[in-house]
Structure 1
């Protein structure tokens, strides 16, 4: 009992650091991706911190709610809370922190789905046609995510015997899981394609239509929730692709400072690599509106390949 209490007390500052870094990085990552896409398109490179400045400016502005949007503040708060809860459960630079027992793929993907659903509900509230059309398109992306997630969770459960994120990462550190890395990487790619709806081309225009009747702190909360969801998907996929970059708490003792610094560096490196891949995909392969069916097919392809590789490895291994 005392050992668990000590582990919680020592781990709480690290959990706070994880959450603070995640909140600080989320708009930066979105700004970096959008800036690279705009810059490579020959339209000049906007400042990476521009999105943070915009969110802060929205938060300081007095929002006037139009008729039919009385519940907008509640929906915005619930959406942000769901995104923050998901970020708390996805390890960034270390795992084994307080709350690790609640960290489960099904719970995290459910929270991220709720965050996206909150945007849809907010858009449908005023009953405006333009916002409604954008909400329907966003709901299609949510349905795509719900179709792919069972396949991913099944692959992870069959490969490692667990669906808890901390348990999965700890299992992937074992030598006997080395042969299962390929199906887990394919499952992570399926997560990225299906989950990162907010980061594909056309997402900002769609969000502008959905949230045209929301301003002030409510809009700031929703925009921050969008950014947090993007970073949560990228961090979760990065953890599955390169689990060795995370520091691990041992017993009641937190990771050593050197291991924590290495974990933060590995997280930033994983995120940067995934940002580069997302920029390439937006420029070359897919957009949000025209590529929805293609993305669904690609995500399902990664999921099915993960199942095939997993069972092929068990048959011939």
Structure 2
């Protein structure tokens, strides 16, 4: 490798790392705003008085400044582990550009596994002996976790059938091609299934989350709250990518990083996707998921949409 090629490679790595850092900063900065907006939107549409959108960030920062009581046993490290896993999932979900460093690790199965683990860790901590209120709240979330485990294999199967890829970057690149046809329909169904099964956006989820963290304080509470918000942000971003991959900035010819001029528009497209999905969640939360029965229906719909994503592709292959 000559000096010029070596210098070009270094520039690409440095520029890619900078873009990856921007991606992660945007995900972290927007995550509490997204949950705050959802909580405020649901309250206002439902006729109540919602908290300010910035209330989530204020809560997290306020908890981070306090010194909470140290939890006993393995519970002490759970908030840090949950935050690290949620950050890793956010790092692997493209927000505004494809082909950033680490894209080869960005696999649907990997991201789904990380998000399930991030959801499971707080439940395991809450089920520790001595935490009755937290344990009861955690037990109420186990059904949703079971449905998540059922939806993800179907979603991954549909993605591989549609494009031949399980990697997120390769999958989204293929979905942008004009000949996809039923693959795009399947991707929309996958996005709906993920939104229904993944995020904790149902009635009572906020109250159960507060009960699970009743014994946490200080930085542990801050880490757990931020981890919840990052998980929600990852689900929404992944669903938005599947539903509208055309808004992502693409690699240039020769495998180079996306052109600088395409990045501002791609960031705006990501913010628009996120806003549209949040508005849809608010309406669905009030109209469809307004009760416990609605929550069960939501989980059934998640399985239905994931199954339909596979069926659509089977039907298309049979028709060929």
Instruction: Say whether the fold is shared (TM-score over 0.5).
Output: yes
Cα distance in structure 1, aligned partners of 2:76 and 2:265? 39
* 1:278 maps onto 2:278 in alignment: no
Indicate the residue corresponding to 2:12 in structure 1: 7
Contact 1:94 1:260 in 2 (8 A): yes
Indicate the residue corresponding to 1:33 in structure 2: 38
Q: 1:180 aligns with which of 180, 183, 187?
A: 183
Q: 1:266 aligns with which of 261, 266, 269?
A: 269
Indicate the residue corresponding to 1:189 in structure 2: 192
Q: CA deviation at 1:280?
A: 0.8
1:117-156 paired onto structure 2 within 5 Å: 117-156=120-159
Contact 2:70 2:76 in 1 (8 A): no
Cα distance in structure 2, aligned partners of 1:126 and 1:204? 23
**What CA RMSD, in Å, does the superposition of the two structures yield over aligned residues?**
1.7
1:61-210 paired onto structure 2 within 5 Å: 61-65=66-70, 69-196=72-199, 198-210=200-212
Deviates further, 11-20 or 248-257: 248-257
- 1:94-148 CA-to-partner distances (Å, cap 9, x unmatched) read 0100000000000000000010011102212253222111111122211110011
Contact 2:39 2:50 in 1 (8 A): no
Q: CA deviation at 1:4?
A: 5.4
Contact 2:154 2:306 in 1 (8 A): yes
Distance 1:312 1:306, change over 3 A: same
Contact 1:4 1:252 in 2 (8 A): no
**TM-score, normalised by the number of residues in structure 2:** 0.93
Q: CA deviation at 1:51?
A: 0.7
Cα distance in structure 2, aligned partners of 1:288 and 1:256? 47
* 1:311 maps onto 2:307 in alignment: no
Contact 1:193 1:299 in 2 (8 A): yes
The size of the alignment, in residue pairs, is 314
Name stretches of at least 5 consecutive residues in structure 1 with no aligned partner: none
Indicate the residue corresponding to 2:62 in structure 1: 57
Contact 1:65 1:213 in 2 (8 A): no
Indicate the residue corresponding to 1:242 in structure 2: 244
Deviates further, 155-164 or 287-296: 287-296
